C-alpha cells in the first residue's frame, strides 16, 4: 500500500481513539506500524506484535490492513473476532467488497458504524440486521417537516438491545423461501507411501432466509447423536442408512442450545437474510473425493520423469469443477514436456510446479499426467531436491465428504404459510496435500 491509502486503515483501538493523551501518538503508531510491520515485508510474520509499549494486532484483508492497538493485556481472540465481524458488517453495507476503494467511498459511513459498534473500547451491537434499521445513508431527509418520518427509526432503538437481537418483527415476503447450503472443505495430508497422515472435514451450514413473521425452524441431519436420540424418543430403531459422527459442532446464536442438548434437534428463529447456522468438524469416515498416485523418478542429475494419476471416487453421476493439481518440480527446471489425458497442463516457473487444470472431472474416472522434466545441471548443489507436496483444488457439487445429509427442514409460523426450501451441497478442497 502506498501513502495514499493511509486513511484506509481503520483503528478500532480499545480506547486509543478516545483517550486524548494517547491520541497524540496515533500518528506515531501509524508510523510505528508502517516501519515495523509493513516495511519488513516479511511473509508469515506474527499477527500480534509488541512495538514500544503497545501491542499491535493486525489483519490484512484484500489490500487493507486493519490494526488494533492495545496497551493492556487484552483478549486477543475477542479482538480478532470483532474485526472479522466488523468487516462482515462493512461488506454487507458496501455490497460485498471490502477494499481500499470501498473505504474511500464510504468513510463517513464507516465513522458512523464504528461509532455504533464500539463505544470507548467496548464492543456494542454488530448485527447488520439491526444496524441497518437505523444506520442508513439516506438519513432523515425532510428538513422542514417536524413530524416524525415514516421510517421506523424510533422503533429501531428498541431493537438495538432487544432479546431476539438477530431478527426484527413485522417482516413480510410475498414468496417465503429458505436456502440451505452445506459447504464442506476437506483437508488431507497423505504420505509419500500412500497412507493418510491426517484427514478431516470442516463444514458449514449456510442459510439464506426470506421468511415472513417470526418463524420457528427445525433442522434434522443424519448425524449419529441426533438420530439415536430421535429413535430413543420415538422408541423405534434407527432406520438403516449412514449416520455421521460429528466431532464438534458450534451454532449461530439463534439456535436454542438447551434444546439441542436435550433433544438433539437444531431449532431456531432465523435472522433475516444470510447467516451461518452451524459449523462442524469430522475426522472419522471421511470420503475422499480424489485419490492421487504420483510417481516421480529422478533420472540422473538433469532429467526427471513425473507421472501423476488422479482418480475420482465419488458417484458416477456427479462431477467435480475447477480441478487444479499443482505438481512440484525443482527450481532449476529448464524444459518440460507434458501430456495429459484430460484438461490442460503447463509449467509455471514462478511457482515451480506443473499446473494441471481440469474444468470438469466426472465421477468414477481417472486421468493421468505424464511429464518429462529437464533440469539445468548445477555443479554446486549436489544435494537432492526436497519435494514439496502435490496440492489440489476442486469443488464437488452435490457431494459431502462427511456424508452429511439434510433429513428435513421444517418451517413453522403462526400464519401457517407455505415455504419453499432449497438444499445444496458442495465439497471444496481445503488443504489437500499429497507428498511425493
Partner 1 sequence: MVPPAQSQRSPSPSQPSGKGEVSDLKMQLRQLAGSRAPGTDDSKRDLFKKVISYMTIGIDVSSVFSEMVMCSATSDIVLKKMCYLYVGNYAKYNPDLALLTINFLQRDCKDEDPMIRGLALRSLGSLRVPNLVEYLVGPLGAGLKDGNSYVRMVAAVGVLKLYHISASTCFDADFPALLKHLLLNDPDAQVVANCLSALQEIWGQEASSSEEAAREREALISKPIIYYLLNRIKEFSEWAQCTVLELVSKYAPPDSNEIFDIMNLLEDRLQHANGAVVLATIKLFLQLTLSMTDVHQQVYERIKAPLLTLVSSGSPEQSYAVLSHLHLLVMRAPMLFASDYKHLYCQYNEPFYVKKLKLEMLTAVANESNTYEIVTELCEYAANVDIPIARESIRAVGKIALEQYDVNAIVDRLLQFLEMEKDYVTAETLVLVKDLLRKYPQWSHDCIAVIGNISSNNVQEPKAKAALIWMLGEYAQDMQDAPYALEGLIDDWEDETSPEVRLHLLTAVMKCFFRRPPETQKALGSALAAGLADMHQDVHDRALFYYRLLQHNISVANSVVNPTKQAVSVFADTQSSEIKDRIFDEFNSLSVLYQKPCYMFTDKEHQGPFAFSEELGNLSIGVDDQRVEANEEDLLLSTTRKEDSLPQQTQGALLVSLDQNEPAAAHAQQTNSVIDDLFGLGLSSSPSPSSLLKLNAKAVLDPTTFQQKWRQLPVSTSQEGSISPQGVAAMTTPQALVRHMQVHYIHCIASGGQAPNFKLFFFAQKADEPSNFLVECIINTSTSKAHIKIKADDESASQAFSALFQSALSKFGMA
Site for partner 1 in 343-362 (CB under 8 A): none
Interacting positions 243-282 with partner 1 (CB under 8 A): 247-253, 257-258, 260-261, 276, 278-281
Report how many residues bind partner 1 under the rule CB under 8 A: 109
Q: What angle do CA 195, 201, 203 make, to 5 degrees?
A: 170
Interacting positions 107-146 with partner 1 (CB under 8 A): 107-108, 111-112, 114-115, 119-120, 122-126, 134, 137, 139-144, 146
Residue 55, C-beta contacts closer than 8 angstroms, at least 6 positions apart:
48, 49, 69, 70, 71, 74
Q: How far is the CB of 22 from partner 1 (least distance, A)?
A: 8
Binding status of residue 382 toward partner 1 by CB under 8 A: yes
Interacting positions 30-59 with partner 1 (CB under 8 A): 30, 43-48, 50, 52-55, 57-59
Measured from the Cβ of residue 280, the count of other Cβ atoms closer than 10 Å reads 22
For partner 1, the binding residue among 39, 235, 240, 386 (CB under 8 A) is 386
DSSP 98-137: -SHHHHHHTHHHHHHHHHHHEETTEE----HHHHHHH--S
Place of cell 496435500: 433
Q: How far is the CB of 108 from partner 1 (least distance, A)?
A: 6
Task: Please give the radius of gyration of the chain, using alpha carbons only, rounded to the nearest integer.
Answer: 27
Interacting positions 163-182 with partner 1 (CB under 8 A): 163, 165
Residues β-bridged to residue 425 = 182
d(CA 102, CA 8): 9
- String marking each residue 209-238 x if it binds partner 1 according to CB under 8 A: ------------------------------
Comparing CB distances to partner 1, the nearer of 110 and 318 is 110
Closest CA to 287 of 200, 180, 406: 200
Place of cell 496515533: 26
Comparing CB distances to partner 1, the nearer of 124 and 378 is 124
Q: How far is the CB of 185 from partner 1 (least distance, A)?
A: 9
For partner 1, the binding residue among 383, 414, 415, 416 (CB under 8 A) is 383
Measured from the Cβ of residue 435, the count of other Cβ atoms closer than 10 Å reads 15
Using CB under 8 A, which of the segments 27-35, 174-182, 206-214, 332-340 binds partner 1?
Answer: 27-35
Amino acid at each position: 500500500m502506498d501513502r495514499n491509502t493511509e486513511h484506509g486503515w481503520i483503528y478500532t483501538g480499545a480506547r486509543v481513539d478516545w483517550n486524548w493523551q494517547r491520541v497524540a501518538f496515533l500518528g506515531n503508531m501509524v508510523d510505528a506500524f508502517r516501519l515495523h510491520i509493513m516495511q519488513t515485508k516479511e511473509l508469515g510474520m506474527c499477527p500480534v506484535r509488541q512495538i514500544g509499549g503497545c501491542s499491535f494486532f493486525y489483519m490484512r484483508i484484500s489490500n487493507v490492513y486493519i490494526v488494533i492497538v492495545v496497551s493492556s493485556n487484552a483478549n486477543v481472540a475477542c479482538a480478532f473476532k470483532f474485526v472479522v465481524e466488523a468487516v462482515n458488517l462493512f461488506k454487507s453495507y458496501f455490497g460485498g467488497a471490502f477494499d481500499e476503494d470501498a473505504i474511500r467511498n464510504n468513510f463517513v459511513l464507516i465513522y458512523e458504524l464504528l461509532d455504533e459498534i464500539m463505544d470507548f473500547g467496548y464492543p456494542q451491537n454488530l448485527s447488520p440486521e439491526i444496524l441497518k434499521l437505523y444506520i442508513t445513508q439516506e438519513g432523515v431527509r425532510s428538513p422542514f417537516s417536524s413530524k416524525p418520518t415514516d421510517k421506523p427509526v424510533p422503533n429501531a432503538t428498541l431493537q438495538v438491545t432487544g432479546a431476539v437481537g438477530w431478527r426484527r418483527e413485522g417482516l413480510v415476503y410475498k414468496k417465503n423461501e429458505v436456502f440451505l447450503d452445506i459447504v464442506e472443505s476437506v483437508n488431507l495430508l497423505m504420505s509419500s507411501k500412500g497412507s493418510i497422515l491426517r484427514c478431516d472435514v470442516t463444514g458449514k451450514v449456510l442459510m439464506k432466509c426470506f421468511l415472513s413473521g417470526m418463524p420457528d425452524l427445525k433442522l434434522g441431519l443424519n448425524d449419529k447423536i441426533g438420530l439415536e436420540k430421535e429413535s430413543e424418543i420415538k422408541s423405534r430403531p434407527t432406520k438403516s442408512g449412514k449416520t455421521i459422527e460429528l466431532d464438534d459442532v458450534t451454532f449461530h446464536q439463534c439456535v436454542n442450545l438447551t434444546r439441542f442438548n436435550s433433544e438433539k434437534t437444531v431449532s431456531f428463529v432465523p435472522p433475516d437474510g444470510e447467516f451461518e447456522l452451524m459449523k462442524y468438524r469430522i475426522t472419522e469416515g471421511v470420503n475422499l473425493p480424489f485419490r492421487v498416485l504420483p510417481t516421480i523418478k529422478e533420472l540422473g542429475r538433469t532429467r526427471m520423469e513425473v507421472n501423476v494419476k488422479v482418480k475420482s471416487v465419488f458417484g458416477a453421476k456427479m462431477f467435480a469443477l475447477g480441478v487444479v493439481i499443482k505438481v512440484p518440480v525443482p527450481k532449476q527446471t529448464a524444459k518440460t514436456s507434458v501430456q495429459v489425458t484430460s484438461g490442460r497442463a503447463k509449467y509455471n516457473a514462478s511457482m515451480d510446479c506443473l499446473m494441471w487444470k481440469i474444468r470438469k472431472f466426472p465421477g468414477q474416472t481417472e486421468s493421468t499426467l505424464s511429464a518429462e522434466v529437464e533440469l539445468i545441471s548445477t555443479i554446486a548443489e549436489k544435494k537432492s531436491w526436497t519435494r514439496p507436496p502435490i496440492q489440489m483444488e476442486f469443488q464437488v457439487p452435490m457431494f459431502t465428504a462427511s456424508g452429511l445429509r439434510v433429513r428435513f427442514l421444517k418451517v413453522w409460523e403462526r400464519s401457517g404459510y407455505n415455504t419453499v426450501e432449497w438444499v445444496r451441497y458442495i465439497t471444496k478442497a481445503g488443504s489437500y496435500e499429497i507428498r511425493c
